[in-house]
């Protein structure tokens, strides 16, 4: 690897030849080789989006030379297009304000802008990463603003549509299975009959409510800390800067971003991210319930419940021929567990707001955006690869109804709880059904019993 020397006030560091970034990025890269994890490209592109609009506003406010501003605007746009994705090299685990990644971005923008103006890549002149690219900004307001913008965009454009797709799939199955009678279960024990459609309608409602909770959390993300600079009081920024930059972002994304009502809250705490993560966790918990139920309902195919069949996607065993596993359900469960773990991390990181700054911003950003992406992909795979292909096994569903001892409940209004319980015990000990015992002992007129136990049983 060839290097060029770049000196600054902290000494000389070695920067790879041909890199757009400079000494601050290189130093962060060398000092934080902790995990090998890096921020997702949507987050990097969001940082560049903010720089794009910031340079435009600084140009309009006549705070930047037009040549410098236009070079910064062009460089930021190119980063958003993905032309310099390989230049973002800093580990997720770094300084708690995200300054290392923020300066990586500032230096790449400056380095490319200098190339545009002079033909020479990198450096700090004529475009300086701090004086020009970062004009009117601080890591402390830019980084949490990028979390909010990126998170809100990913939720609105990816997550909500995928959840709606899953909701539609479950709703279709609820309608399709409306006439399929089966036994209900509580405590994993036989209970009263329901329809398979009713069961699926419950799953659809879970997803519908998850969508509502996540949409509600967006309201908090729409407030951006931009304009607070280092400690929330807006030092070194033009009073019109934040409002105009945020208006540009709102116009581009179609989302109602506004300046934070209180910058000290917006930078000293990260409650909006904690709230959003909680809504994602709630959805993940629901996904686990739904996926586990479907796994149980499809168990078998001959020695389990077998009330539904799910699409066979791949061989289920390297040893047992013909075995097919509920692979999508299990993938959904594992992804949901990861989201729940991310939420725990975000909740702990949310406590990292000491005085005027939360110093756990990178781990909040990484985990929150990963959760949004995971939930998006999980919902889509669940609907397309599993739910849409589910079929009901009507015979298996009906066969369990008449055998259920819980049918004694239907007799309670006529003979009371105690007599019904005794009847259920007798049925269990004799191996007969509730209907058979009731008929044998002439508990009620046969016509009434037929109406009470009017299930369409298989031949």
pLDDT digits (tens, 9 = 90+) for 240-266: 999 999 999 999 999 999 999 999 999
**For residue 457, pLDDT beyond 50:** no
pLDDT digits (tens, 9 = 90+) for 26-39: 999 999 999 999 99
**For residue 144, pLDDT beyond 50:** yes
pLDDT digits (tens, 9 = 90+) for 16-64: 888 999 999 999 999 999 999 999 999 999 999 999 999 999 999 999 9
d(CA 316, CA 321): 8
Which residue out of 317, 318, 399, 454 is catalytically annotated?
317
pLDDT at 316: 74
pLDDT at 1: 44
With a CB cutoff of 8 Å and minimum separation 6, the contacts of 327 are 313, 314, 316
* SS3 category, 96: coil
Q: What is the mean pLDDT of residues 112-123?
A: 97
Clarify whether 187 is annotated catalytic: yes
**Residue-range domain boundaries for the chain:** 16-135, 148-236+272-396, 403-452
**Domain 148-236+272-396: which CATH class?**
mainly alpha
Query: Both tokens of residue 242?
Result: 């934040």
> Which residues does residue 391 pair with via DSSP β-bridges, in sequence order?
309
For residue 451, with 0-12 CB atoms within 10 Å meaning exposed, 13-18 middle and 19 or more buried, which class applies?
A: exposed
Local confidence band at 458 (pLDDT 50, 70, 90 cut-offs): very low
**For residue 108, pLDDT beyond 60:** yes
- Could you tell me which of 128, 88, 107, 97 has the C-alpha nearest to residue 23? 107
Local confidence band at 456 (pLDDT 50, 70, 90 cut-offs): low
Q: What is the mean pLDDT of residues 347-374?
A: 98
**Domain 403-452: which CATH class?**
mainly alpha
Check: CB of residue 357 under 8 Å from CB of residue 140.
Answer: yes
Q: Per CATH, the architecture of 16-135 is what?
A: Orthogonal Bundle (1.10)
Check: CB of residue 57 under 8 Å from CB of residue 244.
Answer: yes
Q: What is the mean pLDDT of residues 383-403?
A: 94
- Give the sign of the dihedral formed by CA 153, CA 82, CA 43, CA 363: positive
**For residue 142, pLDDT beyond 50:** yes
**Phi and psi based region of residue 281 (left: phi greater than 0; alpha: psi -120 to 50; beta: remaining):** alpha
Check: CB of residue 267 under 8 Å from CB of residue 357.
Answer: yes
pLDDT digits (tens, 9 = 90+) for 149-196: 999 999 999 999 999 999 999 999 999 999 999 999 999 999 999 999
Local confidence band at 131 (pLDDT 50, 70, 90 cut-offs): very high
Local confidence band at 12 (pLDDT 50, 70, 90 cut-offs): low
Q: What is the mean pLDDT of residues 363-368?
A: 98
Taking the mean position of all CA atoms in its chain, how far away is CA 410?
44
d(CA 443, CA 448): 10
Indicate the range of 20-29, 142-151, 434-443 predicted with least confidence: 434-443
Q: What is the mean pLDDT of residues 218-239?
A: 98
Which residue out of 187, 195, 299, 371 is catalytically annotated?
187
**For residue 2, pLDDT beyond 60:** no
Helix (H) or strand (E) holding 245: helix 241-253
- Could you tell me which of 143, 45, 120, 35 has the C-alpha nearest to residue 85? 45
**For residue 229, pLDDT beyond 50:** yes
Considering the entire predicted model, what is its pTM? 0.94
pLDDT digits (tens, 9 = 90+) for 315-358: 777 788 878 899 999 999 999 999 999 999 999 999 999 999 99
């Amino acid at each position: 690897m060839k290097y060029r020397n770049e000196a600054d006030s902290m000494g000389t560091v070695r920067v790879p030849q041909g890199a757009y970034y400079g000494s601050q990025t290189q130093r962060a890269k060398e000092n934080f080789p902790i995990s090998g994890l890096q921020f997702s490209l949507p987050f990097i592109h969001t940082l560049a989006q903010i720089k794009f609009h910031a340079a435009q506003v600084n140009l309009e406010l006549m705070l930047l030379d037009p040549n410098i501003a236009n070079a910064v605007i062009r460089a930021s746009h190119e980063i958003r297009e993905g032309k310099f994705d390989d230049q973002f090299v800093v580990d997720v685990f770094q300084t708690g304000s995200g300054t290392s990644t923020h300066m990586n971005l500032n230096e790449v923008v400056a380095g490319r802008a200098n190339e545009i103006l002079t033909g020479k890549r990198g450096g700090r002149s004529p475009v300086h990463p701090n004086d020009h690219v970062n004009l009117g900004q601080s890591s402390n307001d830019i980084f949490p603003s990028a979390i909010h913008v990126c998170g809100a965009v990913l939720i609105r454009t990816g997550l909500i549509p995928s959840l709606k797709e899953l909701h539609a799939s479950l709703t279709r199955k609820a309608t399709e299975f409306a006439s399929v009678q089966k036994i209900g279960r509580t405590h994993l024990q036989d209970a009263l009959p329901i329809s398979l459609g009713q069961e699926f309608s419950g799953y659809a409602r879970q997803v519908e409510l998850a969508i509502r909770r996540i949409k509600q959390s967006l309201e908090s993300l729409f407030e951006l800390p931009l304009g607070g600079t280092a400690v929330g009081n807006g030092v070194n920024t033009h009073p019109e800067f934040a409002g105009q930059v945020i208006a540009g972002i709102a116009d581009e994304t179609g989302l109602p971003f506004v300046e934070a009502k209180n910058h000290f809250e917006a930078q000293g705490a990260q409650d909006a991210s904690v709230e959003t993560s909680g809504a994602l966790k709630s959805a993940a918990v629901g996904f686990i319930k739904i996926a586990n139920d479907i796994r149980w309902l499809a168990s078998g195919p001959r020695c389990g419940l077998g009330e539904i069949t799910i699409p066979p996607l791949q061989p289920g065993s390297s040893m047992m021929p013909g075995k097919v596993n509920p692979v999508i359900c299990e993938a959904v469960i594992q992804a949901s567990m990861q989201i729940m773990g991310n939420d725990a991390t975000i909740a702990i990181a949310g406590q990292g707001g000491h005085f005027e700054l939360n110093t756990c911003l990178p781990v909040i950003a990484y985990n929150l955006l990963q959760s949004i992406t995971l939930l998006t992909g999980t919902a889509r795979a669940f609907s397309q690869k599993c739910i849409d292909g589910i079929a009901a096994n009507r015979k298996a569903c009906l066969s369990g109804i008449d055998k259920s001892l819980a049918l004694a409940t239907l007799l309670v209004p006529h003979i009371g709880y105690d007599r019904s319980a005794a009847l259920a015990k007798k049925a269990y000990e004799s191996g007969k059904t509730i209907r058979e015992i009731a008929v044998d002992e002439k508990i009620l007129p046969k016509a009434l019993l037929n109406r009470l136990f009017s299930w369409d049983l298989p031949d």
